[in-house]
Structure 1
Amino acid sequence: MASLEEWHAVEPKGLAARILGVTVGFTIVCLLVVGLRVWLRLKLSTFGTEDYIMCAGVALNMVHNAVVMYGTFTGIGSPDSKLNTAIMIEGAKSIVLWQIFYVSGSLLIKTSICVTLIRIATQRRFVYILYGLIAMSAISTFIAILAVLVRCRPIAASWNPTLGTCLPQTIIITLTYVVSVINIINDFSVAIIPVFMLWNVQMRRKLKILTTMILGLGILASTATIIRMPYSSAYNNVTNLLHDVGNIILWTVVECGMGVIAGSLPMLRQLFKGLAKDQSSRDESYVLRARSGRWPSLSNGRTPDDHESPPDTETDSTHRIMKTSRGDASEGSTHTAEVVGTSWQTHKDTA
């Protein structure tokens, strides 16, 4: 029989189960959104610097999510009453890895969004502000990673204090607040700056609002940061450390996930536009046939509302032309709907 002090996986329950579920959900959504982004940008031959940076950020974020999911089986989000010393040590190791991949992945995700805005910025002051945000985030990230790596000597003492000595946890707590504040400033800035950038741009008002709203999703990421800030003091906990730090980890998953989504949706505008156009074509074709009183045959040979069989249809590989006689036969009136790809045109010829 295994000793109580041997490490073994813990079944995620309560907070641990919520962390696992949220992480799995954001992992799937982020991979789907970024996958569509990469496919569309490559197809349009517009794959650029911001896309490379976002892909690198998502790669780190996926490692981050994998560490978090593994961590829920090593005690993260679970109370001390469910753990033994060996499990707590493994859980503390997961926390160290999570800290490193969180700040590094978050930096690249936010940098990608800033680079995207730099590309469309027409005024130099916005470019300077965005570069300033990137520099500020990069410096804070470097300091945070350095603090995690050098706080304990050897580094293994970070998860097993009996192996060495460590500086006070207040260092990590202070850096957590600093990084959080910088993230909030960054998220709010990249949500507000597009409003001023697009204010005088010759663009349809509806498109301006849509673009601003999509980029404004970054505010949701900063909301997650604000929510997790009060939990930062959990690093000082003597008991239930892994459980309480789980609250911090949960909201970092949400923060990074929302950042990936907010940074990628604007790149998918062409895809949504194409889908909307295709749907519009189908709707218009439906309306034309409804107005003409002619419908396609159903599988049972009957037509809706017992209408007549559909008119003759000529089809080739590039377009489809539907001709329907309308009005008085003597007038020779013809209504033609031509569908080419996703566009349609209506012609009416009178003899």
Structure 2
Amino acid sequence: MEVWGPNPMITTILPDMASGKTRMNHYFNGWVMVSRRFDDATLPQVKAANPLESSWVLANAGSGKTRVLTNRVVRLLLAGTSPQKILCITFTNAAATNMLNRLGETLGGWAMLSNENLRDRLLNLGEDESSLTPEKLDSARTLFARALETPGGMKIQTFHSFATTLLKQFPLEAGVSPQFKLIDDRKSRNIQIDLLNDLVETDREIVGQLSKYLDYENLKQFTKDIFDKRDYFTGEASKGFIWKKFDVQEGWNETSFVNSITPGNIQLIKSMIPYLLKGSITDKTKGKLLAEALETENTNIIAFQLAKASESWGRRKLTDSRKTRFSAYSLCQGSRNTRRHENSNLPFLCNYLVETIPAGSGCFSPVQVD
């Protein structure tokens, strides 16, 4: 059967006597290109595996992406790309191992195939038969050996493995010790557990204080956060970092925080309580506690309840001026549409709080709220 196509090209569909499958001969300007005819499910994969077709592969899980990407690597090698210039990065070790095994099976199998069978395999990849010269077939048989001889082997690795390789090559540029060692998540968790056990045995007072605010799981997460940011905890230097981070004067402590609760601040807290009592269950609870604290007229109690309330508002600390202003904004604004009309009080409340903080305390800096 003959079908005339555009740019005067004739497409002749002939049976492939060797495989029993259908081939498609393209005649154009005297050149003949013969390629395998694929079904609707296979054709998109063949196109995606062609490195000249597209640089992007998008597909659902289980749709054959690993095979497509492996075939793309094979076709890059067939086109003459050096193995050491190909980098494959995966999310998991299992995927990297799968790709490496498939690549080895494919290239290793080619080394022992006859010309006829090897040509059939290459046609199934999407290669044009006109390009399958004896020289190219011989070159395809040597790809397995070339891959094995590549210094360090084919680069098929996970993100973490690739990053580790870069760090080992450029430790000084990355700011790490040249003798660094990589630990996995399980070893990291074991180190954290050992640290907690040592802390329980050596300093029960600290553990007792932490247990008031953190259960066991949160305590493990807390130690992980410290572990991840261990450079911040270097003796006395860490205090200076904390004071600078929260924009407070050197020596700022709990007493300083209590002393910052001025009459003006108390008035602001009183103004916020009605909004809390209209909010969620948590907001109502905090509002009641603050109201009870205000009745005592004891700044220590007020400061304690205010600090507890601030922890539930996105864990924002009152000593961080930017986060505190954001907390005040969120508190006054509320999350429900029914309270939008109350937002007109926001500029007054926030600016009132700014004006009543003692000058130079570092808690707040002037802010214009629109």
Bin for the TM-score computed over the shorter chain? under 0.3
Higher helix share: 1
Greater relative CO (CA pairs within 8 A, separation 6+): 1
- State TM-score, norm by structure 1: 0.25
- State TM-score, norm by structure 2: 0.24
